[in-house]
Amino acid sequence: MFYPVQIDFLKIQTYDIPMALDKENLKKGALLVIALAAMGIAMPFMMGNQDLNYFMIELPNGKQIMAQVADSPEKQIVGLFFAKKLPPDSALLYIYDDEDYHRIWTKNSPFPLDILWMDRDRTILHIEENVPPCKTDPCPSYGPDVPETLYVMQTAPGFVKSNRLDLGMDMIFRLIEK
């Protein structure tokens, strides 16, 4: 294979650099492609909060918390992957287009989570507390037994207990304008 390494006006000099296509180089190439794809998905999140929406969520006890919104497949795939911690009075709110089970797993989650599933009326359908990060495959998935979820909220561990949240309780969402 020839690679141009020097250009002298209109004359291009090349050198033959043999490249072995062994298993090790193929593995490195595959890892590079995967890493570049992951960076393409994650780059908007790493560059700041330019396209992020937030909701103020009022809990049944009247307490209000700030929730970052994951309302696209790209944001939902990344989730809390790059978060170092989740402050106790904040959340990540997944908003889906259609009602379904919307099961969640915690692969690559950096810390344990309390997770709540809500229907179109923002009524709590299912709760999982202190869900640990998944370190080995296969990872368990969590979620309700009925396909009525439209919202999933991930919070810091202990959030459900400290706010005395339970099934059947309603939340109020208010969009925060940029």
Residues 1/19, Cβ–Cβ less than 8 Å: yes
| Residue type at position 149 | T
Q: Quick count: other Cβ atoms within 10 Å of Cβ 8?
A: 7
pLDDT at 41 over 70: no
Per DSSP bridges, beta strands 64-70 and 90-100 are parallel
- Concatenating the DSSP letter of every residue in 129-145 gives EEEPPB-SSSPP-B--S
**Confidence class for position 178, pLDDT limits 50, 70, 90:** low
Q: C-alpha dihedral over 169, 171, 172, 174, to 10 degrees?
A: 180
Cα atoms in the Cβ-side hemisphere of radius 13 Å centred on 122: 11
Residues 153/118, Cβ–Cβ less than 8 Å: yes
Lowest mean pLDDT segment, chosen from 94-98, 130-134, 173-177: 173-177
pLDDT of residue 45: 44
Its pTM stands at 0.70
pLDDT at 4 over 90: no
pLDDT of residue 78: 82
Q: Where do we find the tokens 């706010």?
A: 163
pLDDT digits (tens, 9 = 90+) for 65-110: 999 999 998 888 888 877 788 888 899 999 999 999 999 988 888 8
CATH no. of 54-176: 2.60.120.1140
pLDDT of residue 10: 42
**Confidence class for position 28, pLDDT limits 50, 70, 90:** low
- In this prediction, residues 131-160 reach a mean pLDDT of 95
- In this prediction, residues 131-148 reach a mean pLDDT of 94
Q: Where are the alpha helices (DSSP H) in 49-141?
A: 73-78
